[in-house]
Structure 1
Amino acid sequence: MAFSPLRSKAFNHGRSLSFPSKTHPSTSQFDENLSIVRGSEASCSSLSSMNNRLNGLKNLYTNVDALLLLPNIQQIISQEGQDKWVDQVLDGYISLLDACTTAKDLVSQTKHDVQELLSALRRKDVRGIHCYLNSRKKSKKMIQKSLKNLRSFTSKQNVLALDKDKQTLALVYMLKEAESVTISMFESLLSFVTTTKVQSRQSGWSLVSKIMRTKKASYERDLNEFEKMDAFLQMSLEDVQVEELMPHLKEMESRIHNLEEELECLFRQLIKTRVFLLNILNH
C-alpha cells in the first residue's frame, strides 16, 4: 500500500526536510528503520518475516519516542497543540491501536484454530476438523471487514499542505510516515493470514484423508504457512503421512505464538508513544 501523507510542494525536497544536524542520532536511525520497514513489505512471505517486520516497526517507534524527548521537538508540539494536524495524529494512534487489537484477536484465534486442528488430527476426529474449517471461514469474513476498515482509514488520513516551518513539517512527516507503514503492516498481516481458501462440504474419514495428501510441488514453491495449509486441505494426489503434517502444524503454531507476542509488544509501544505526545501537550 503506497501512502504518502504529505504532498505539499515543500515535501518534494524529501531528505532536505530534516531536523537540524548534530541533534540526535535517532533522526538518522528513524530514516534507516523507515527504509528497512518499507523494504520488507515485498519480502513478507512467511510468519518469520512478518515477525521481523513487526520488530522493525517497534524499533521505528522507539526512534520516534527518542525524538519526542528532544526539547526543540517538544517545543514545536507544544506550540502546535491546537493545530488540526496534532489532533489528527492523536486520533490516528487510536485507529492504530484499534487495528492492532483486531490483528491480535485474529492471530490469537488463528493460533487456537491450529491447536484445535492438531488435536483433531491426533484423535482422527472428523467433527473437530469441520470445526476448524468453519472457524477459518468466520475468521476470513472478519479479516475482510477489518481490511475494509483499514483502507477506509487510510483514504481519510491525507494531511493538507501545511504552511509551517521546515522543522514542523519534518515532525509531521515523521509521525505520519510511521503511521502509514504501520497501517500497511496490518494490511499485509491480515491479507497474509486470509490466504487460506478452505472448503468444508465434505464428510467422513475422506476429509481426514484429503488433509493427509498434497502435491510435493507445493513445498517446492515459495508458499507461506497458510498457503501450505491450503494445499493440505485441497490437494488430493500424493499421500502425506500424519507424521509429516504434524511437525508443520506444530512449527506453524509456534510461529503464530511469536507473532502474537510481537503484536503485543507493538501495541504497548503505540500506547507509549501516544502517551508521550499527550504528556508534551499537557505540560
Structure 2
Amino acid sequence: MATSPLNAQPSFHARSNSLPSRQHPITSQIDENLNRLRASQLASTSSSIGHQFNCLQDLYDSVDMLLQLPLAQQALAQEQQRKLIEQLLDGSLALLDVCGTAKDALLQTKECTQELQSILRRRRGAEGFANEVRKYITSRKAARKAICKALKNLKHMENKLSSSSFMKDDETIAVISTLKQVEAVTIGVLESLLCFITGPEAESKSSKWSLVSKFMHQKKVICKEEEQRANEIGNVDATLCSLIKSGNMKHVENVQNELQNSEMCIQDLDEGLESFFRRLIKTRVTILNILNC
C-alpha cells in the first residue's frame, strides 16, 4: 500500500509508551497491538477486516487494563486536562456514530440480499427478480451516500489527530497520547470497513465518490482484479448491475452463489462490528466513570 493517512501517526510530542516512567507491560502490550493493526491495514478484504476487528478487541482489552492503573486514573482525573479528555470522549462518540452508519448499511444490504435469494428460491420469474434487483441497487446507493458522509467525518477526525501536539512530557500526557493513537488506528479500521461495504463498483463512478475512491486507492497492495474478487458484496453489485444493463434475466441462477457468499460475509462483518461497538461503549463508560469519581 502506498503511504496512507490511515497509517500516518499523529504528531504527538509526548511519550506514548511510558506510564509510569519505566516501560509498563500493559503499555508494551498496547504498542504491540497498535503495530499489529497498522500492519494489518494493508488490504481491504472481508478476511483482513475481520482480522482487524480481532486486533481491535485485543487492543481495547489492553486499554481497559491501562485504565485500571491508579496512575492512569489519576492522570485522566486532573482538572487541567479536562479539555483533552472531552476531546477523546467526543471522538469516541463520533466513532460510535460511524459504527451505526456501517451497521445500517450492512443491515440494508443483508435484507435486500436475502430477499433476492428468496425470489430465486420461489422462482417468481425474471420480472419479479428484476424489480427486486432495482430495489437492491437503490438501497445500495442510499447506503453509499451515508457512507460517504461517514468517511468525511472520519477524515475530519484524522486531520484533527494529525495536528495534535503536546507541550508537556509527563504521565498525564502519555496516557492521553496513547488513547489518541488508539483512536487513530480505530479510524483506520472503520475506513477499511466502509470502503469495503461500498464495493469496487462505487470507485470513480462520479466525482461524488472521489473520497471513497481515494481511500480505496490508498489501501491497495494487491492487484485490482484480485481485490475485486475478494469483495463479496462488490461482486453482487457488479453482477446485478450487469444484469440490469443487459436486460437478460434468464440465467439469474448464476447469481445464487454470489448472494450466499455476500450474505455470509455481511454476517461476519456485522458480528465483528457489533462486538467492537460494545467494546467501544465499555471503554467510553470507563473513562466517564474515572472523570466522575
- Bin the TM-score by the shorter chain: 0.7 to 0.9
Choose which of 149, 156, 168 in structure 1 pairs with 2:153.
149
Deviation at residue 270 of structure 1 after TM alignment: 0.8
Partner of 1:228: 235
What RMSD in Å do the two structures reach over aligned CA positions? 3.0
Segments of structure 1 that go 5 or more residues without pairing to the other structure are: 200-217
**Aligned ranges 1:87-126 → 2 under 5 Å:** 87-122=86-121, 123-124=124-125, 125=128, 126=130
Partner of 2:140: 136
1:12-41 CA distance string (max 9 Å, x none): xx76x4544474x32222111111111111
- Specify whether residues 162 and 219 from structure 1 end up closer, same or farther in structure 2 by C-alpha distance, changes over 3 A only: closer
Letter in 1 for 2:230: L
1:237-266 CA distance string (max 9 Å, x none): 9x9965553233213212211211211111
Identity, % of aligned pairs? 42
Choose which of 5, 8, 11 in structure 1 pairs with 2:10.
5
Letter in 2 for 1:6: S
Deviates more, 1:36-45 or 1:240-249: 240-249
Residue 277, structure 1, aligned to residue 281, structure 2: no
Are the aligned partners of 1:116 and 1:132 in contact in 2 as well (CA < 8 Å)? no
1:6-65 CA distance string (max 9 Å, x none): 343x56xx76x4544474x322221111111111111232x2221221121122111100
Residue 259, structure 1, aligned to residue 258, structure 2: no
- Specify whether residues 99 and 85 from structure 1 end up closer, same or farther in structure 2 by C-alpha distance, changes over 3 A only: same
Q: Structure 1 CA distance, aligned partners of 2:37 and 2:135?
A: 37
Q: Structure 2 CA distance, aligned partners of 1:234 and 1:135?
A: 13
- Specify whether residues 22 and 28 from structure 1 end up closer, same or farther in structure 2 by C-alpha distance, changes over 3 A only: closer
Q: How many residues align?
A: 259
1:86-144 CA distance string (max 9 Å, x none): 11111111111111111111111121121122223333322112111221122222221
Segments of structure 2 that go 5 or more residues without pairing to the other structure are: 1-5, 206-224
Q: Structure 2 CA distance, aligned partners of 1:81 and 1:118?
A: 58
- TM-score of the pair, normalised by structure 2: 0.77
Deviation at residue 170 of structure 1 after TM alignment: 2.2
Q: Structure 2 CA distance, aligned partners of 1:266 and 1:170?
A: 24
Letter in 1 for 2:271: E
Are the aligned partners of 1:219 and 1:228 in contact in 2 as well (CA < 8 Å)? no
- Specify whether residues 91 and 187 from structure 1 end up closer, same or farther in structure 2 by C-alpha distance, changes over 3 A only: same
Deviation at residue 159 of structure 1 after TM alignment: 5.7
Residue 185, structure 1, aligned to residue 189, structure 2: yes
- Specify whether residues 149 and 79 from structure 1 end up closer, same or farther in structure 2 by C-alpha distance, changes over 3 A only: closer
Choose which of 197, 203, 224 in structure 1 pairs with 2:201.
197
- TM-score of the pair, normalised by structure 1: 0.80
